[in-house]
Amino acid sequence: MEVDDGSEARVEEKGKRLVVLLVGAPGSGKSTFCDAVVGASRRPWVRICQDTIGNGKAGTKAQCVKSALSVLKDGKSVFIDRCNLDREQRAEFLKLGSAQIDVHAVMLDLPTQLCISRSVKRTGHEGNLQGGKAAAVVNRMLQKKELPKLSEGFSRITFCHNDAEVQAALGAYSGLGPSDGLPPGCFGQKSQDAKVQVGIMKFLKKAEGPSPVVSKVNSNQSVASIGSSEKKDSSLEREQMPILPNAPQKEESKGKEDAVQAIDNDVCTLAFPSISTADFQFNLEKASDIIVETVEEFVPKLGNARLVLVDLTYESKILSLVRAKAAKKSIDSSKFFTFAGNIIELSTKGGLNCNVIANAANWRLKPGGGGVNAAIFKAAGADLEKATNERVKSLLPGSAVVVPLPSTSPLYNREGITHVIHVLGPNMNPQRPNCLNNDYNKGCMVLRQAYTSLFEGFLSLLKLQEKSVTKRHEEFLHHSGHGPDKNVANGDLKNKRDDAVVSISSKKSRGSGDEVETHITRPRTGNSDSGTQTTNSGMTKAWGSWAQALYHIAMNPERHKDDILEILEDVVVLNDAYPKAQKHILILAQARGLDCLADVHEVHLELLRRMHAIGLKWVEKFLHEDSQLVFRLGYHSAPSMRQLHLHVISQDFNSVHLKNKKHWNSFNTAFFRDSVDVIEEVNKNGKAMIKDDESLLSMELRCHRCRSAHPNIPRLKSHIQNCQVPFPAFLLQSDRLVRAPDSN
């Protein structure tokens, strides 16, 4: 089939008018296409939209036909802006064609999830199709879709499957002059008829058995939820995609044994579903990006363990997207792959042994609802609910909690699952609690937190296992005087029952403002060197592996030379990995036992003064480069990274990493303790006065200069770029702010 890129020579058809039917689902960009052409073309166009045909309100198809006739009589060309998804809806408009009038179709055949995302997020839509109801409408309309054909009476059809093809078509129509035309024919249609192709695939499957490839459902197909076992059929076009290694197909029993043999079942494995994409209706494209990016970050930390994304069928859209994106990033397929099967029957029916499974939980951590949550609680029995309730009662979006599965649980005995990690993602479903109302900026952040929390939970189990094996190995050598016991050395998670449960939130590997504390749900024993700390309330805080990065840099700076700006006798200087301003560095103490300000006493006074002086030296360097900058030096009251560190941060707060209220308030409320105040308090009282009040992080957003309130970070950033009000008086005192000598 011929392809038109809009660059062909125009065909002279003097006096010929055009009727162009836009064909596509809500959210495919029909109105945007029309408006762009009308605004750019030298040809007189009129857009006719059924959503506004009745004096600004929705009208009928008959009104659109009548209006089109009137416009054509005036010598103008017409865009018909309505969905026009089946032959019947297009028939009346095709009757407008004549010797002087050509009827074209522009088929905006974009991915279903893209259309849904656009429809859900838009506001002020002419037809009021927006918000939560849009997804169901788009899916329902696409079930009736019939691709336009020349045999219907069109002189030209242009198919657009992506943004590049849309832009090419837009350019072709925008470039038309009053007497220009476009070549007739069908442009951009995929080469094979979809129904024929699907029929051939079904025939081959029956005749030849399992194929070396699996089909990926075209994005126009409605997405099946994780909780549904119904296998959806489709006559839509499919494309071939290779299976990742170690990801066997769903086969009949005859071929199943061979597939299972390819899987190494002696490896600690976390099987997890796609979080928030089913019941919570999170956009699949965005979700798949986040899954792959987070997996890519954690794969190097897994050692011999692995991660497996699970859904009921390989025709799952999320599996297809993740497989393709993981392959592009060349992620080690022995460490991460996708698998089709029921997450509660992976061993007995899928041949895949998993020690740990993730549950896409609700915030109450209760059975019920549908999908994965209901299935796991039912399969695990009352033991799981009891074990969960003993440790935590609820879960915040973006968080995860690791729960040991009692050995009395059917899921433990039948499937060999030792731990369940409950994880809660963001909600885009208005029928569920805590809906984000299509705020995908926040939604993506929370979903990334959720996967990070999940994988950190799994890593914590691996570390406990490693410590357990090492301890038992040492005890064996001590008591027996012989070589290591292979059975002990090869012990797995089934031999280690962890009674301490960690509630984990999102963390980054190094930085300051993108992390949240990790808390143990009940007191533990420990000390600073072991990565735990007793708080003023008597609870024990554990620094997760993510939060140990600064500690490791401080203890072994020579191993991290690429990340370090300066190494001194007792201090290390480095850039914050997620800077919240143009200039943002950390002055890191090298002393052991100094996790945070709560550990500081009078004996550390000289170290605090030295850290402050080094910070001032770097400020002087930065001011020499840009004298307009203003700096503040200070500590977080309750830092999220282990090892005492002083922030040296410019007050422009111009950074893509400053994304939310927590980031802003961690530097612009009492949560941020000025270095000069800390030094004075330690000198006077022998310790810093710490008020560990995390409610400060959720305070309203206020400008750090004029203290005006703002509803969100973008509005606040826009304001502070222009705010020239002097800084508050308390910041102008005691050298809390540092600026060039000649600055006001």
Positions marked active-site: 645
Q: Which H helix or E strand runs over 372?
A: helix 371-380
Nearest to 356 by CA among 496, 153, 566: 496
What are the structure tokens assigned to 147, written together? Answer: 């691709």
Phi, psi dihedral angles at 692 (to 5 degrees): -80, 75
Residue 536: which residues within 8 A CB-CB, separation 6 or more?
Answer: 598, 690, 692
User: In angstroms, how far apart are the furthest CA atoms of the chain?
Assistant: 102
User: What totals of helices (H) and strands (E) does the chain contain, helices first?
Assistant: 21, 29
496 vs 485: CA distance, rounded Å: 16
What lies within 8 Å, CB to CB, of 158 at 6+ separation is 4, 104, 105, 106, 107, 169, 172, 187, 188
- Reference 106, options 47, 179, 180, 194; nearest CA is 47
CB atoms under 10 Å from CB of 533, counted, come to 19
Neighbour count for residue 638 (Cβ, 10 Å) = 20
* Residues 677, 612: Cα–Cα separation, whole Å: 11
Where would I find the beta strands (DSSP E) of 518-604? 519-520, 532-534, 540-542, 564-567, 571-575, 584-589
- Give the HSE-up count for residue 591: Cα atoms under 13 Å, Cβ half-sphere: 19
Rg (CA), the chain: 31
Number of CB atoms found within 10 A of residue 168's CB: 18
167 contacts: CB under 8 Å, gap ≥ 6 = none
Task: Write the single-letter amino acid at 459.
Answer: L
